[in-house]
A and B are shown apart, each in its own frame.
Chain A
Amino acid sequence: MKADEKVTVEEKLGLVRFKHGKESHLSVIAEDVCVRCEGKWCTTICPAHVYEWSPEQNKVIVNWENCLETGACITGCPYANIQFQYPKGGKGVEFRYG
């Protein structure tokens, strides 16, 4: 990927190495809270675009495989509606430069 190419965040994340376990280390606690949430901040603050609002499904989709483990979502959700734990030891993102 060239530095001056216009790419999506998903393409950026394609450059990152992950070692995933089978289970998600994060989840939305109560989906109806998201429906009423006026800001849907999780969909904009997360630098890995893990959270995506789906109007069709009327819920937040959690792309946990993209997670860079910043923890921004646990503060960024004003309703404390996101459950975030670190992945199991040795799993998750693996930066090669950092």
Chain B
Amino acid sequence: MAEEKFDACVVGAGPAGIAAALTLARGGADVIVLERGSAPGTKNVMGGILYRKMLQDLVPDFWKEAPIERPIAEEQAWLTSGENVVKLGFRSEAFAKEPYNSFSVLRARFDPWFAQQAEKAGAMLINETTVLDVIKEDGQVVGVRTDRKEGDVYADVVIAGDGAISWLSKKAGLQPDRPFPAEHLVVGCKEVIELPREVIEQRFNLKDNAGMSIELFGDVLRGNAGYAFLYTNKESLSLGLGVMLNDLMRTKQKPYELLDVLKAHPAVAPLIKDGEVREYAAKMIPEGGYPALPHLYGPGILVAGDAAMMTNAAHREGSNLAMEAGKLAGRAVLEAKARRDFSAASLARYEKLLEQSFVLKDLRRYRKLPHFIARSGEMLTVYPAMANMLAERFLTVSGMPKGEEQLAMLKEMLRMRPLPRLIGDTWRALRAML
């Protein structure tokens, strides 16, 4: 395809790939980005909440020009049980002001802008190009094979930022060349529902373009481990869910039918009423966590972002980990370039950088979480139900003396989850996060 040889070839124009390309281009490296979509973002789906910090490190004050939807000023968690819901929330005036904390985004709009930043810095972006394999010489990755005519691209280093399935890192031998197990995958689907700006601001009690994020747990997911989400965009809502693939296989429920259950929930339906559905989308999230991390580098190759299982399920973090990892991959390659050494030993610097950053620290801290979540479908129903039971009884004036009522509440709690299991669950949940 291109005759010349590049310093680096980045596969995938997502947050990981673009962060790497941007870092490399700014460092004076010759970098090419290959993307299979007709433009960046056309293949990408997320809820999606984008955290400010990691992108700000790359593009200061990006919110002034980037196509973000709304800065998130209020976050809510809804625990559902049947038609009932216990709502928890946090609203912050500081989150509604610069520099903000996080933003809702639509990836088909955000990704092209982010890719442009890398192009402006000198990276070459080639769309409509599916990478099929790595090219190896004496065990060293020296480029990639694409589906274009004469489509081989040569580079000192290949950075695999190819997202959830990451065939490339598998072909390169960084992880076993077989599908990920169902316990490591979340299937996500969503709808974008258009509503006038004023209607959104009225329904969600928002002003001045501030936004809200709602995550829903419990019954509304029909026993599947996972969560649902409702995020406000400028003139639309993102409504969707993510559930463990192993649970979907167990319960035999269909993702789009779960989405319909969500839409019909009496606490959700009025919020989307009269909205116009603009798009239905789906994508997987790799959530194997620390125990499932691939080799992060090999001779002539690095892997970053979803392709390397870098997500944090407890904090709906993925795009920010991808950006940080991409940035560090770029840095490691710049250092390797200065040394003219692209061996595995030289690229091991990438893992060192990741270890010093929050990326590997968080993944290691939460190493037990993915295992815990994959088996928590039942728990994620029982506890929201318990919260609703307690709230309902607490708020109902039944004429029963309070002492008796409290005893009855305690009994009902222990009926829903016997004491040994209550203790066991708490212990496991704490161990998964602390």
Q: Which 6 residue pairs across A and B have the least CB separation, nearest first?
A: A90-B128, A98-B107, A47-B282, A98-B108, A3-B275, A12-B280
Alpha-carbon separation in the docked complex, A69 to B130 (Å): 13
Q: Which single member of A39, A49, A69 contacts B256 (CB below 8 Å)?
A: A49
Chain B residues lying within 8 Å of A15, measured Cβ to Cβ, are 277-280
Q: How many A-B residue pairs have CB under 8 A?
A: 150
* Chain B proximity of A24: nearest CB distance (Å): 15
B410 within 8 A of partner (CB): no
A80 within 8 A of partner (CB): yes
Chain B residues lying within 8 Å of A89, measured Cβ to Cβ, are 36, 127-130, 146-148
Chain A residues lying within 8 Å of B249, measured Cβ to Cβ, are 39, 41, 45, 76
Q: Which of A13, A15, A47, A96 counts the most chain B CB atoms within 10 A?
A: A47
B134 within 8 A of partner (CB): no
Chain A residues lying within 8 Å of B255, measured Cβ to Cβ, are 45, 47
Alpha-carbon separation in the docked complex, A19 to B42 (Å): 11
- Chain A residues 33-64 with CB under 8 Å of chain B are 39, 41, 44-45, 47-49
Q: Which of A44, A92, A97 counts the most chain B CB atoms within 10 A?
A: A97
A4 within 8 A of partner (CB): yes
- 12 A–B pairs (Cβ distance < 8 Å), ordered by A: A1-B277, A4-B274, A45-B187, A45-B249, A45-B255, A76-B249, A87-B130, A89-B130, A94-B42, A94-B43, A97-B106, A98-B106
B46 within 8 A of partner (CB): yes
Alpha-carbon separation in the docked complex, A38 to B125 (Å): 46
Taking chain B's interface residues, is the majority helix, strand, or loop, or is none over half, making it mixed?
mixed
Q: Considering only CB atoms, which chain A residue lies closest to B129 in the complex?
A: A89
Whether the Cβ atoms of B280 and A45 lie closer than 8 Å is no
B415 within 8 A of partner (CB): no
- Chain B residues 230-275 with CB under 8 Å of chain A are 236, 245, 248-249, 252-256, 260, 263, 269, 272-275
Chain A residues lying within 8 Å of B38, measured Cβ to Cβ, are 19, 90, 94
We find that the number of chain A residues with CB closer than 8 angstroms to chain B is 39
Q: Which of B111, B248, B276, B278 counts the most chain A CB atoms within 10 A?
A: B248
A9 within 8 A of partner (CB): yes
Alpha-carbon separation in the docked complex, A96 to B46 (Å): 13
Whether the Cβ atoms of B36 and A97 lie closer than 8 Å is no
Whether the Cβ atoms of A74 and B275 lie closer than 8 Å is no
Whether the Cβ atoms of B256 and A90 lie closer than 8 Å is no
Whether the Cβ atoms of B279 and A16 lie closer than 8 Å is yes
CB within 8 Å for A68 and B283 given contacts A47-B187, A49-B256, A97-B109:
yes
* Chain B proximity of A44: nearest CB distance (Å): 5
Q: Considering only CB atoms, which chain B residue lies closest to A45 in the complex?
A: B248
Chain A residues lying within 8 Å of B130, measured Cβ to Cβ, are 86-89
Chain A residues lying within 8 Å of B128, measured Cβ to Cβ, are 89-90
B 278-307 to A, binary, CB cutoff 8 A, 1 in contact else 0: 111111100000000000000000000000
Chain A residues lying within 8 Å of B187, measured Cβ to Cβ, are 45, 47, 70, 72
Alpha-carbon separation in the docked complex, A41 to B383 (Å): 29
* Chain B proximity of A22: nearest CB distance (Å): 14
A93 within 8 A of partner (CB): yes
Alpha-carbon separation in the docked complex, A44 to B280 (Å): 17
Alpha-carbon separation in the docked complex, A19 to B41 (Å): 15
Whether the Cβ atoms of B108 and A97 lie closer than 8 Å is yes
Alpha-carbon separation in the docked complex, A13 to B277 (Å): 11
Whether the Cβ atoms of B281 and A45 lie closer than 8 Å is no
Q: Which of B109, B127, B180, B255 counts the most chain A CB atoms within 10 A?
A: B255
Chain A residues lying within 8 Å of B165, measured Cβ to Cβ, are 71, 74
Chain B residues lying within 8 Å of A75, measured Cβ to Cβ, are 179-182, 185, 245
Chain A residues lying within 8 Å of B236, measured Cβ to Cβ, are 97
B193 within 8 A of partner (CB): yes
CB within 8 Å for A2 and B260 given contacts A90-B37, A95-B42, A97-B106:
no
Alpha-carbon separation in the docked complex, A15 to B278 (Å): 6
- Chain B residues 21-58 with CB under 8 Å of chain A are 36-38, 41-46
* Chain A proximity of B287: nearest CB distance (Å): 13
Whether the Cβ atoms of A2 and B276 lie closer than 8 Å is yes
Alpha-carbon separation in the docked complex, A6 to B260 (Å): 8
